[in-house]
A = this chain, B = another copy of it.
Amino acid sequence: MNFNSVLDDVKIYEAGKPIELVVREYGVKESDIVKLASNENPYGTSPKVAKRIAEISKNMFMYPDDSMYELKEGLASKFKVASNNIVIGSGSDQVIEFCVHAKCTKDSKVIMSKTTFAMYEIYAKQTGATVLKTPDDEHNLEQFSKLYKENGADIIFLCLPNNPLGECVDKEDVYNFLKEVSEETLVIVDGAYQEYAAFKDANKAIDPSDLIHTFPNAIYLGTFSKAYALGGMRVGYGIANAEIIKILHKLRPPFNISTLSLAAAIEALKDESFVQECIAKNFEEIGAYETYAKEKGLDYIPSYTNFITLKLPVEYISAQVAQELLEKGIIIRDLTSYGLNAIRITIGRKEQNKRVIALLDEVLNNLSKAKVFD
């Protein structure tokens, strides 16, 4: 059977390996597994949110309120925007999908950084659009500007801070770049990790309301998957002017988040102190990796997120390091598929980080030794 030819060029996203798989394939005990591969919040679900969901689990037979009235009211109040500035997605991921399908055909151009969230390219290619990438791995707005002036674009993706690298451009530089961009170009500011960046450095903080009122062609994406500790529940949002949001709603399938997901997100918004505590602990713990990297002479990218990317010297192969850790029950992310000899580690809880650093050290030392006898 023949299929839509644009799909020939579409790759499948490689998700972090689940704990179940490591139990199944390597026989590691579930309690011995540390999963720091998908930037989940290692402090777990807010107890208040978990309690609420346990109480209403019998409601699973009922479709959610498809207008998502209460969640939108909560977000509108938090961000000081109107409800009709908000669209809810199954993760901010799905809002990316809406944006791409709203703007792109096979004649479209999409600009992004060389190394950034893989789904930008996957969704763009599903429409047959041409993907243009800046030369540097990290976001370089001069390169964005040059690429845009030379080619134009229907969509520009800015990942602030950037996944999977962790760097973050200053808000002022972002605004200066956006002034050059035509109102016909949709600028997607992916703020999946913004809560972390804003905590570490106020110069990185993007206020969604200010953004969309200054630049009516911009959309801000947020998520409950990271700082809000609901990665498994698939709730994200887009904030933009009402004209853009209205079009995105044409692409939103009915009931695109589950009844329990909707309730969990509403409840999570009421427990901001949990979120702030998690972020504070994240930046306390990230130091352990930075110290180890310096001791070991490994390059790392200063991170504005809940993960750290370690670039490995040529004598190590990141896929091999990740595989050896996996067999010991440590799940981290190899970045080979992003074209890098690097690993990305989610910042875990103190005891998890200690264990990961100790085992990473063991793996690296063994690989060095093996090399000596090669």
Contacts and interface: CB of A to CB of B under 8 A. Distances in A.
Interface of A: 1-4, 7, 10-13, 15-16, 18-21, 24, 35, 38, 40-41, 43-45, 47, 49-51, 53-55, 57-67, 69-70, 90-91, 93-94, 97, 101-105, 119, 126, 183-184, 186, 216-217, 225, 229-234, 243-244, 247, 249-251, 253-261, 264
Contacts of A225: 63
A35 B259 CA distance: 15
A100 to B, nearest CB: 9
30 contacts: A1-B216, A3-B102, A4-B104, A7-B102, A7-B250, A18-B64, A20-B65, A35-B62, A38-B63, A40-B62, A40-B63, A45-B59, A45-B60, A45-B61, A50-B57, A53-B53, A54-B55, A60-B232, A60-B264, A64-B232, A90-B253, A90-B256, A91-B253, A94-B253, A232-B258, A232-B259, A232-B260, A233-B259, A234-B258, A260-B261
Contacts of A40: 61-63
Given A50-B60, A64-B18, A260-B53, A253 B12 contact: no
B63 A16 contact: yes
B90 A61 contact: no
Most buried by B among A55, A253, A256: A253
A67 B229 contact: no
B61 A232 contact: yes
Contact of A233 (B51, B60, B65): B60
B247 A3 contact: yes
Contact of A1 (B10, B119, B183): B183
Contacts of A257: 234, 258
A97 B249 CA distance: 15
A251 B7 contact: yes
Contacts of A251: 7, 10, 126
A57 B59 contact: no
